[in-house]
Amino acid sequence: MKPLHSNLGSPATAPGRWGGCEHTSDVSRAVRTGFWPSALQEHAQTCRACSETRAVAEALLQESSRMRAASPAPDASRVWFEARRRARLHLRHRALFWFRALRVLTVIYVPAMLFWALSHRVAPVREVWKPSFRADFGSLLTGPAEIFALSGVLLAALCIFMGSWYLLREARTPLHHT
């Protein structure tokens, strides 16, 4: 609390630009705590700003105590449960984002790869089949096709990893935390 000045009793105590008084915060605190120094009480009777502050603060505090008595706040566990539910939902939405991205990639890559496969005629089946990736398919892949296919595989792996990461985090966020 600020020290009360000697000229506290004057109605014109420290008038501010907006007709305020530097002791309004003291008056407000006194109303809240119930501790009224006599000098402040006398000042509040004569100073317009402080008397207004007192009247308004008293009315609001009465309203506050009435409201608090009328109905208590909801139970904390209800709010906690709701927050956990939303956190899980939030993580699920993030996981969904990655799985949706995977779906988009599939929509882009599968037709592209089909088109690529159809445009490159597969060679007739040889009599002696060699189980070699390079021998059977590698010859069909040109440089850009390889990069395209590889980027698709990497992006799909990234989407699966990130989606799974958020799903795991969701699983590790139980609704009832202890």
Contacting positions for another protein (CB under 8 A): 16, 18-20, 25, 28-29, 31-32, 49, 51-53, 55-57, 59-64, 66-74, 76-80, 82-83, 86-87, 90, 94, 97, 177-178
User: Can you tell me the distance from the alpha carbon of 135 to that of 22, in angstroms, rounded to the nearest whole number?
Assistant: 90
- Show Cβ contacts of residue 81 under 8 Å, excluding neighbours closer than 6 positions: 175, 176
Q: Decide whether 36 or 97 has the Cβ nearer to another protein.
A: 97
Q: CB neighbours (10 Å) of residue 55?
A: 12
Residue 63 neighbours by CB under 8 Å, 6+ apart: none
Q: Min. distance of Cβ 39 from another protein in angstroms?
A: 21
Nearer to another protein, 56 or 157 (CB): 56
- Nearer Cβ to another protein (8/21): 21
* Least distance in angstroms from the C-beta of 87 to another protein: 7
Backbone dihedral angles phi then psi of residue 104, each to the nearest 5 degrees: -60, -45
48 or 146: CB nearest another protein: 48
CB of 98 to another protein, least distance (A): 9
Q: Which two tokens stand for residue 145?
A: 């096709």
Task: Count the residues in the chain.
Answer: 178
